[in-house]
Chain A
Amino acid sequence: MTTNSPSKVHITTTINGQQHELLVPGYMSLLDTLRELIGLTGTKEGCLDGNCGACTVSVDGRIVDSCLVLGAEVDGKEVDTVEGMASPDGLHPLQQAFLEEAALQCGICTPGFLVAAKGLLDNEPSPSEDRIRHWLAGNLCRCTGYDKIVRAVQKASS
C-alpha cells in the first residue's frame, strides 16, 4: 500500500475476479468504495453500523459487513459481491432458489443474504435448518419472516 496524497490511498484489489487499481480516500468504507468509486450498487446500505447485513460482501472468502471495513483495507485482497455470483451459464443455484421459492419481497436485503448464504454453502454444502438460521442471523430481513429465505438456502444446498 502506498500513499500518494495525504488523504487518498493507492490500492490494487480484485473485485469479482477483475483487478482494480484505485485511489481511495482514507476515510471511505469498502461499501462506498464499491458503490461510489466502482459503481457496484448491488451491495446495499442499510444502517452503516454493522447491524443489518445488507452490505455483506466476501473478502478473501470471509463474509464481512462492508460498511465496517475501509476501502483501503482490501489492498491485495479478493472482494466478491452479489454482482459476481451469476456466470455466463446462468444464475448461481442460490439466486435461482431465491426466485423459485419467492424468498424476497422488497429485495433490498437479498444481495446481503445471497453473499452470506454463499459463504455458508461454499464451506458446508449441506447445513441443517438450525445451522442456516444461525449463520444468517447477521442479516436482517423485515419483509419475509425468513421462512422462504431458509427454504431457498435449503433448496440450493446439496
Chain B
Amino acid sequence: MVATFEPKTDYKVVGTRPIRHDGYDKVTGRAIYGGDMKLPGLIWGVMVRSPHAHATIKSIDTSAAEAMKGVFSVITGADMPKAPSKLVDLGEGNVNFKWASNKLMADTKVLYRGHPVAAVAAVDRYVAEEAARKVVVEYDVLPAITNVVDALKPDAPILLDDLVGDDLGEDVTNTNMAAHVRHEFGDVEGAMASATHTIEREYNMQMVHQGYIEPHNATALWDEEDRIKVWTSTQGSFPARTQIAGILQVDVSRVKVTPLEIGGGFGGKIPVYFEPIAALLSKKSQRPVKMVMERTAVFETTGPTPGARMIVKLGADSNGKLTAATADIWFEAGANPGAFIGPAAQCVYAPYEIPNTRIDGWDVLVNKPKVAPYRAPGSPQVAFAMESAVDELCEQAGWDSLQFRIDNASKEGTRRGDGVLFSKIGMQEVLEATKQTDHWNSPIGDAPEGKVRGRGIANGYWFNIGLKSSANLSVNSDGTVQLTEGSTDIGGSRTSMAMHVAEVLGLDAHDVRPVVGDTESVGFTDVTGGSRTTYATGYACWQAANNLVDVLKQRVAILWDVKAEDVDFKDGVFISNAESAKTISFKELAGKLEDLGGPANSTGAVDLESAGDGFGTHIADVEIDLATGKTDVIRYTAIQDVGTAIHPSYVEGQLQGGSVQGIGWALNEEYFMHEDGRMANSSFLDYRMPTSLDLPPIDTVLVEVPNPLHPYGVRGVGETPICPPIPAIANAINDATGKRLYSTPMNAGSIVESLK
C-alpha cells in the first residue's frame, strides 16, 4: 500500500528561499570538487586512447613508457578483471559489468574513437602524458558504423561478436541490434484507417552531449588491506560503488566512495569512467592515483545522448480528437547496448490521451561512445517528433494547436503508451496556465527588415522515479540538527533536504546543517537522477525528522514524568496533553538532553516505487535572419507542474537550465561525425553550447498540483524542462518561415537550405 498525503498550504519553511548551505564555500572557491583532490604521495594517471573508431588491436608495447623516469605503473586490457555479463539497475539505466568494463578499457577490439587501450601513472600529469605517448599500439582498422540505418544493413560490420540481441523476445545473433521492444493497445490499424486527418513524418537527430563544465575525474587508493578508497565527482556514490566493485570483481564493502563536489552531470556522471582504472593503477603503484579527463575525451568517450531516427504517424477525427498513433524509434546506443528506448516509449504519447497506439523501439549499436543518461533520457527525442507532428496535423486541419493540446490532454486514468495508467497529473493545469501567461497573450511584435518572427509551443514529459534513499539526524546541544544524507548535491539539493527537516521540527532552514555522506557514513541511496532527489531523499529526511520527534517525545516524557503518548509536538514546541500548561521548545529541550538519556538520533530510509509524473509546456518566440539563417530566441517561457516547490529559486533554476540545454540542442549542438567515426567538433569552440549572449531571460511559471505521493506534494522537476524546447523552437521556426525542419540541429545552414 502506497501512502498518500493531503495537500497543505500553511508551510513555514517549504516554499521559502534560504541561501544554500554550501553556497559560501562555492562563491569563495573553497568547495572541493573532484579535480581539487590532493593526498600525500598523490600521482597522476593518464589514458592511452585509440585514434580509430573501429579496429582490432594487433599489439600493445608499453616498454618505453614503463622505462621512463617518473613512471610508476602501466596497465592494459590484460590487467582488467574479467567481469561477468550481469545486468544491474542503476536507477536511470542499467549497467552490464562485462560491457562497462570493456567500455573503460578495450580488450581485443576498439569500438569508438578514444576507447582506452592502456593507462599510465606517473609522478605528475605532464610526465604521465609524455609516457602515454610512448605506448605503441598496432591496429587493424575496420569500417566504422556511424548511424542506425547502416548498422542494421544485412552486410554491416558487427561491433560485438558475442552480442545476443532481443527481437521481441527472440534471440538474434550476428547483429548490431541489441533490443527491439513493442507496446500496442487498441485497434491501431482500424483507427488510423478511419481517421479523417492523418500525418506521417520522419525525424532525425544527431547525438548531443550533456556538456557539464567539470570534466570527469577520480582519485583512488588501493591499500594494503585490499580496500579501495575512491574520491570522485559522481551523481551517486552508492551506484558508483556498485559499478567499481562489479568491474573490479570485489565485494562492495571493499570499496569506499567519498563523493566530492560535482561540477554538473545531467545524467552523464552516473556511469564511472576513471574510478576502476585509477584503482588498478594505484594497486600497481602503491600510491593514490588521480585522473582528470581532457575535454576532447569528455566529448569523444563519455556522455552523449542517443542520436535518433523516428517515424511518427498520427490520426485524428473531424472533431479534433486524436484517435490513433504509431511511433517507430531507432536510437543509437553507441558501442554497447542501452539506448533508452524504454523511457522513449514511456514518454512519446504521455501528454495526450490516445485510445489506439503502437510503439516499436530499437536499441542499435554504432561506433560512437556508449550513451549515458542525459536529462530525461529518450524523452526530448520523442518530444521533437511527437510535438512537431501534432503541430503539423493542427496546421493541416486548421486547428489551434494550444486548444488541440488542451482538448487531447492526458489526465488521471489516461493510459500511457506503455500501458501504465496515470494517477493525479497536471498536464491540463499546465496547458490552462499556458493560456493565461502574459507571453501567450502578448503579440510577438514586428521583425526588423530582413528578419521574420514566429512563436511555437510544445509539451514535455518525464515520468520521474522514486527508489532508495537514506538520511541520518542528530541533535546538537545548541538546538540545531545535523543531517547526513546520501544524495550527491548537483544543484542545491542539500538545502531542500534541510528544509524538509526544518519544516517538521519547526526550525529555521539554517538550523539544520546538511552533509552529503560517503558510502560508509550513510545508508544506501540511489543516484541523483531521474528527478528523484528532492522527492525521495526529501521523503527520507521528512521521515527521519518525524522519527526524531518520536525520540524526543520520550525524553520530554522523562523530563515531565508523563507518558510519551501524552506529549504532543507542534511548531517546534512540545506540549503536554496531560497538563496543558507545560511546554518546552525544541531548542530548550536540546540543551537538556545530556541529562535526559544523551544523544538523540534518528534515521529515515525509503524505497519508493512510484514518484508522480512531470508535465510542462513551453512557449518560444524566435527571430530569424532570412539572409544568414541565424535564429535568435527573443522570448521564452517555461510552464511546469512542479507539485510543491520546496525552494522555488532552485526549481526555477531547473526549468531555466533545462530549457537552455534544449535550446542549444535545437539550434546548434550535434556530434558532427566524419565517416570514419571521428568527431569533428570535440571542443567547446566547435561544439557550440549557448552563451549568455545567445539567450533572452527565461521566464518560468510554477504550477503547483501537489503530488499525493509525497508528504509536501513534491514532484520531480529536473528533467521535464529539456523536453519541450526542441519542438517548441521547430514549431516557432515553422511559424516564422513557413518551413518545417525535421532534423536537429536546426542551425543557420539548415534554415537557409529550407528557404531555397
Contact = CB atoms under 8 A, between A and B. Distances in A.
Interface string A19-61: 0000001011000100110011111111111011010000000
Given A48-B294, A51-B684, A143 B29 contact: no
A10 interface: no
Nearest to A40: B29
Contacts of B210: 142
Interface stretch (B75-83, B656-664, B704-712): B656-664
Interface in B634-674: 647, 649-650, 652-653, 656-661
Interface of A: 25, 27-28, 32, 35-36, 39-49, 51-52, 54, 81-83, 85-86, 91, 95, 98-102, 104-111, 114, 132-134, 136-150
Contacts of A106: 212-214, 261-265, 490-491
A148 to B, nearest CB: 6
Interface string B685-727: 1000111111101100000000000000000000000000000
Contacts of B380: none
B126 interface: yes
A46 B299 CA distance: 12
Interface of B: 17, 19-20, 22-24, 26-33, 35-36, 38, 124-126, 210-215, 261-266, 292, 294-295, 490-492, 647, 649-650, 652-653, 656-661, 683-685, 689-695, 697-698
Nearest to A36: B124
B292 A107 contact: no
B684 A143 contact: no
Contacts of B691: 136-140, 146
B660 A145 contact: yes
Given A104-B27, A144-B656, A41 B32 contact: yes
A140 B691 CA distance: 6
Given A49-B295, A147-B698, A114 B653 contact: no
A108 B697 contact: no
Contacts of A108: 33, 212-214, 261, 263-264
Given A91-B24, A105-B650, A109-B213, 19 more contacts: A25-B126, A44-B35, A46-B215, A54-B214, A91-B28, A98-B27, A102-B652, A104-B23, A108-B33, A108-B212, A108-B261, A110-B27, A111-B29, A133-B693, A138-B691, A141-B213, A144-B653, A144-B656, A150-B692
B416 to A, nearest CB: 29
26 contacts: A41-B36, A44-B33, A46-B295, A48-B295, A51-B685, A52-B295, A83-B28, A102-B17, A102-B20, A102-B652, A107-B31, A107-B261, A110-B26, A110-B27, A111-B29, A136-B691, A137-B693, A142-B266, A143-B657, A144-B656, A145-B653, A145-B657, A145-B659, A148-B649, A148-B653, A149-B692
Contact of A49 (B20, B32, B264, B683): B683
Contacts of B690: 145-146
Contacts of B660: 144-146
Contacts of B697: 147, 150
Contacts of B125: 32
Contacts of B656: 144-145, 147-148
Residue among A51, A100, A106 with the highest chain B CB neighbour number at 10 A: A106
A105 B214 contact: no
A142 B661 contact: yes
B636 to A, nearest CB: 9
Nearest to B697: A147
Contacts of A47: 215, 295, 683-684
Contacts of B23: 98-99, 104
A150 B261 CA distance: 24
B692 A99 contact: no
Contacts of A41: 29, 32-33, 35-36
B114 to A, nearest CB: 16
Given A52-B213, A105-B491, A45 B292 contact: yes
Given A83-B28, A136-B692, A142-B661, A102 B263 contact: no
B692 to A, nearest CB: 4
A70 to B, nearest CB: 13
B302 to A, nearest CB: 14
A134 B660 CA distance: 17
Contacts of B492: 102, 105
Contacts of B31: 107
Contact of A105 (B17, B28, B657): B657
B264 A143 contact: yes
Contacts of A54: 213-214
Given A102-B653, A105-B653, A44 B263 contact: yes
B490 A146 contact: no
A104 B693 contact: no
Given A102-B650, A106-B214, A137-B693, A45 B35 contact: yes
Nearest to A91: B27
Contacts of A44: 33, 35, 213-214, 263
B542 to A, nearest CB: 22
B24 A142 contact: no
A3 B720 CA distance: 57
A15 to B, nearest CB: 13
